[in-house]
Amino acid sequence: PKEYYGEGLDPKVHAELKKAIAQYEAMGAEIVEISLPHTEYAVITYYIIAPAEASANLARYDGVRYGFRAANATSAPEMTTLSRTEGFGPEVKRRIMLGTYVLSSGYYDAYYKKAMQVRTLIRRDFDSAFAKCDVILAPTSPVVAYPIDGKMDPLSIYMLDVYTIPVNMAGLPGISVPCGFADGMPVGMQLIGKPLDEETMLRAAYTFEQANDYHKVLAPLGGNK
C-alpha cells in the first residue's frame, strides 16, 4: 500500500522492507502497488471507538461482581471509587475518560457514530485492495524499537500503531515477522490476509522465515519464531 511507505516511515525500516519485497519477488511473488486511501484516519478512528467500548465495558467494574476490590472501603460508593482508582492504571483511566466523553449526550453522533462510518470506509479500502492481491505487505512500526526506558508522550506512542490499527479496524488477520535489523534492533514486517484466509497469510510468512534466519537469531532473546 503506497500510503504505508510515505512520510513518517523511518528510512532504515523502509530499507529493510524493500529487501524483503525484493526477496519475495525473487521467490516468485508478483508485487503490485495498492491504495488504502483512508489509512490516515485509522488512528483517530480507533482512539474514538476503542475508548468508547472500554468506557462502556469497564463501567461494570465496581468491586462487587468481579475484578479488583479495594480493601479499605467503608461504604459501597467508596468501595467503587477506590476499586477503580487503585485498580485502573493511567492509560486505562485516560481511555475511560475519553470514551465517556465521546459517548456523552451531544457528542455521540459527532464522534462515535462518525468513527463507525469511517471504519466502514477503511474496511472497503481493504476489500478493493484484495481484488488485486492475495496478501498485503506493510511495515509493523514506522520506527525502530525505542529503548525500554525511552520517554514518549501518549500521543506519540499512539501514532506507533498507525500501520497495525487498520487491520483491526477492518477485522482482518495479520502477522508480524522479523525481516531485518536496524540500529541493532529487529525490524518487523506485517503481512495482512483476506477475511478468513489466515492460511495464505501464514504460508507467506512461513515461506519468508524459511528463506531467512532472523527467527533463529531472535529466539535466544525471546523473540518471535
Q: Choose the final residue of a domain: 86, 114, 131.
A: 131
In a domain, 198, yes or no: yes
105/126 same-domain check? yes
- Based on the fold, state whether residues 2 and 84 are members of the same structural domain: no
Angle at 175 between CA 172 and CA 176, to 5 degrees: 140
Q: Which of residues 81, 100, 131 is at a domain's end?
A: 131
Q: Is 47 within the bounds of a domain? A: yes
Please indicate, yes or no, whether residues 65 and 172 belong to a single structural domain of this protein: no
51-100 pLDDT per residue, tens? 999 998 888 888 888 778 888 888 988 888 888 888 899 989 999 999 99
**Cβ pair 42, 169 in contact under 8 A:** yes
As a whole number of angstroms, the distance between CA 179 and CA 176 comes to 9
- Same domain assignment for residues 26 and 48: no
134-165 pLDDT per residue, tens: 999 999 999 888 777 777 777 777 778 889 99
Last residue in a domain, options 109, 131, 153: 131
- The answer as to whether 225 is a domain residue is no
What share of the chain in percent tops pLDDT 90? 55
